[in-house]
Each structure stands twice: as C-alpha cells, then as structure tokens.
Structure 1
Amino acid sequence: MRSLPARRSLGALVVAAGALLASAVPAFAHVTVQPGSVQQGGYSAVAFRVPNESDTASTVKVEVNLPLDHPMASVRTQPVPGWTAVLEKSKLDKPLDSHGQQITEAVSKITWTAGEGTKIAPGQYQDFAVSLGALPTDADTLVFKALQTYDNGDVVRWIEEAKDGQPEPSKPAPALKLTKAAGATAAAADQHSADSTAKQEAASGGKSSDSAARTLGVVGIVVGVVGAALGVAGLRRRSAQS
C-alpha cells in the first residue's frame, strides 16, 4: 500500500498534468487563417478555419469582420454545403481606387449560418474559403476579428490582437501576414545595387578627375619651366652676339 505522502504526490502530479493539458487545448482550437501568409498587392484565396472547441455543443454560426482601415474591393465566398454566407458592406471614409474606379463601400463583415441539420460538431472543424483582393501594399498584417456561436447560446469572441513581446492572448483574432512580392523585393535589391554602383562610379569619377587635374597641372608647370629656360637661353645668345 502506498503511503499517504506518496498518494498526495501522485495526486498533485495528476492535477498538474490535467491543468497543463487544459491550458494546451485552446492553443489548438483557435480560429485561424489558412495559409497564414500571402503576398501583398495581389488577389489570394484564404480559408478561415473554425475548430469546434466544445465537448457538448456544436458551432452553428461564424462571423468574420474585415478590416476597414485596409479595405479590399473584391471579396467573394466559396459555397459551403449546408451553410449560407451573407456579406455586409460599410461606407468608406476614404474612397478606394480599384482599376480606375472609385469604390465608396467595401465588405466589412461575412456571416456564415448553418442550415437545418448542419453544424460543426465536437471534434470537428470547418474551412470557410474566401477570395480577397487587392491586398494592401502598405501593411504587413491583416487582423480579422471573429465570433463563433454555439447551439447552446455560447459565443466565443476571437477578437484579441497579439502584440510583439507579449504572451499570446487566450482568444486571439485570426491574423494574415502579408509579405512583399518577389518582384518588389528583387526590384528593391536592384535599386540598392544600382545606387551603390552609382555612388562608386561617382567616387571613382571624382578621383579620376582629381588625378587628371593634377597631371595637367604638373605638365603645365614643366612646360612653363622649359619655356622659361628657352627664354633665358635666347637672351644669353643675343647678349653674346652683341
């Protein structure tokens, strides 16, 4: 038979392990954007991945808010069997220029609602695909705040923004990283190389100009000395003749 201290130690280990597992579960149940990174400036198809994190209830509605500080002119949803998608638009404070046209409103929210007999059951997840564009070129991250509604009335608000240097929030908002296009990166590298070459050539040109000037100066001095010598010699000859 185990002693009382041994049983207490075992119980403490079980409790600690349970707490560790409980804290780890939400990390795998976040609403996320797939893939997590796309290029700036273009059009991309992404999917909002919604896992069901409840053991007793099912997800029946998903709401995703699009950032209006970086609005996109084109937002299209891919049909999901059993789900109805509704797109809501909002007026923009500043019109968006898209292919020469002024866009005064943009999609600000997408709501997917499950039909009869449809749900994301415990242990399951669902991808909601969306085509977005044109993606901004002046941002490196887009944050999409989301709400997940269960059939028991619970609503999980995935709206907390992650911050550098701080622990990940318990209910982080889905975030999409934006990377510079390969062409833009190459162009920037070429421009940097061209600038460096121009600077080197300018410096080299300056040195060459200085060298040429010095050479011409020396030649001028030599010519002057020779001329002076010839002049003196000529005077001496005249004096001797006279």
Structure 2
Amino acid sequence: MSAHRFLPRRAGAVVVLAAAAVVAAAGAASAHVTVHPESYPEGATDGVLTFRIPNEEDTASTTEVRVFLPTDHPVLGVLVSPQDGWRAKVTTSKLRTPVKTDDGTLTDAVSEITWTGGRIGAGRYEDFDVAFGELPDNARQLTFKTLQTYSDGRTVRWIEEAAPGDDEPENPAPVLRLTAKSGAPGGTSAAGTTADGTATASGARSGASDSTARGLGVAGLVVGVLGLVAAGFAVLRGRRPA
C-alpha cells in the first residue's frame, strides 16, 4: 500500500487532536467563577451583580457556594434574589470604618452569602443574582472571593488575585472593576450604565458578550486549522500516481 494513502489519515488525526486541545483549553479558561457585568461606575446605585458558578467536575455536583463581599470597601443595601432549589444565608459584619449615607451612618454591611440545598450538575452552570443599593466610590475594583464545594467533599477556593502585569492565576477570584462616573446627565458609560449608576441591558450582558467573543475566536482558530488540512489533502491527492 502506498505511503501517500497514510498521510491524510495521519494529518487528519493530528488536526483533530490539535483542535480538541484548543477547544479544551478554551473551556478550561472560561470555566471560572465570574461576576457580571464586569464593571460598574464607582458609586453606582440600585444595580444587580450576577455570580456565575460553573461545575468543573465530571463525577460530582456543586452543592454549596460561598461568596465573600469586601468590608474595607463595602457594598451597601445587599438583597439576595430567590433561587429555585437553593437556600441563601446572609451574614453581616461590623465595619472598621462606618459609612455615611443619605439615610444615616452604617456600621455594618453584608460580608458573606452562602447558598446551599441545590445542585449544579456536570457540564452546567448557575447564576446567582445579588441586588445592591450602592457601590463604594473610593475603590478601583472589588474582589469577591468565593468557595465552591462539591458533593464529593472537594472545595475549590476561588481566592487568588493577580498583580498588575501577571498572568491569570489558576483559581482567580471574581473581580468587579469600578470605572469613573460619566459626567453627562442621563448619559451612559462604557460599562453600559446610566449616569446615576443604574445598569442597562447591554451592561448586564457585557460579561456574556466577552465570553461569546472568546468562544468565537477559538472557533475561528479551529476552522482555520481545518482549512489548512483540507488544502493539504488536496495537494496530497494531486501527487498520487496515476
């Protein structure tokens, strides 16, 4: 049997493995615990934060999610949306520095939210919505360290923070960027929010849009590789002896 007949098979196998590796890498990179939208204006009021929890295990389900809210730059007026199948426990803590608001001085704030009772199966994710009354106006970002516990007893600690310029850590904590307020009355900022800090539909979907863009980029790479292989097959067929 001619060696030429083996070349397409070997090339095809290599491409399939390479494409699978690319897709797997993209899936691993996107399967982090995240907060959406990715940014809000500093001091934003009356908005919603969505914590997306993906299940990374093939043989276990996520059974508990604990999100820790910062108390050095507290999120005020926190309310938890009811979640089918889940029970939410809200913990408050005393603030080292009381916060003055239009309604008075606050000495405590929500520091932890724990969801239990539900299950996130393999290959699935779930969104947990948290409404807030006001975000701090004296910070550039907020870090929400998260613990994800599985039915087999394993806990993944999404608590790592990357220094500026460093690569993303293995288990990064969800981070919400706080941007400068928009100066135009009734205008919108790059984060998709109105001047008073209320999130618009486009802003709430910004995280999902970014994820979609990354997915499309990976798909483009795979299609490009397959195109090169198809061209190689054509060349090999042209070289076969008559």
TM-score (norm 1): 0.66
> C-alpha separation between the residues in 2 aligned to 1:26 and 1:65?
24
Tell me, yes or no, if structure 1 residue 166 matches structure 2 residue 188: no
Q: For each residue in 1:4-59, what CA deviation from the matched residue of structure 2 results, as whole angstroms up to 9, or x when unmatched? A: xx999999888776665554332111110111111211221110011111111111
Contact 1:158/1:174 (8 A) holds in 2: yes
Higher relative contact order structure (alpha carbons within 8 Å, sequence separation ≥ 6): 2
Contact 1:33/1:175 (8 A) holds in 2: yes
Tell me, yes or no, if structure 1 residue 90 matches structure 2 residue 100: no
Provide the secondary structure at the position in 2 that maps to 1:38: strand
> C-alpha separation between the residues in 1 aligned to 2:19 and 2:157?
27
Residue matched to 2:35: 33
Unaligned runs of 5+ in 2: 187-242
Provide the secondary structure at the position in 1 that maps to 2:162: coil
Q: How does 1:103-142 map to 2 (within 5 A)?
A: 103-114=106-117, 118-142=118-142
Residue matched to 2:153: 153
Report how far residue 157 of structure 1 moved: 0.6
Q: For each residue in 1:75-107, what CA deviation from the matched residue of structure 2 results, as whole angstroms up to 9, or x when unmatched? A: 111000110111111111111112241211111
Contact 1:26/1:170 (8 A) holds in 2: no
Residue matched to 1:42: 44
One-letter amino acid of the structure 2 residue matched with residue 59 of structure 1 = T
> C-alpha separation between the residues in 2 aligned to 1:76 and 1:167?
34
Q: CA RMSD in A?
A: 2.6
> C-alpha separation between the residues in 1 aligned to 2:136 and 2:176?
12
Residues 1:163 and 1:184: Cα distance change in structure 2 (over 3 Å) = farther
Residue matched to 2:84: 81
Residue matched to 1:51: 54
Contact 1:41/1:133 (8 A) holds in 2: no
Provide the identity percentage.
49
> C-alpha separation between the residues in 1 aligned to 2:76 and 2:12?
59
Higher helix content, 1 or 2: 1
TM-score (norm 2): 0.66
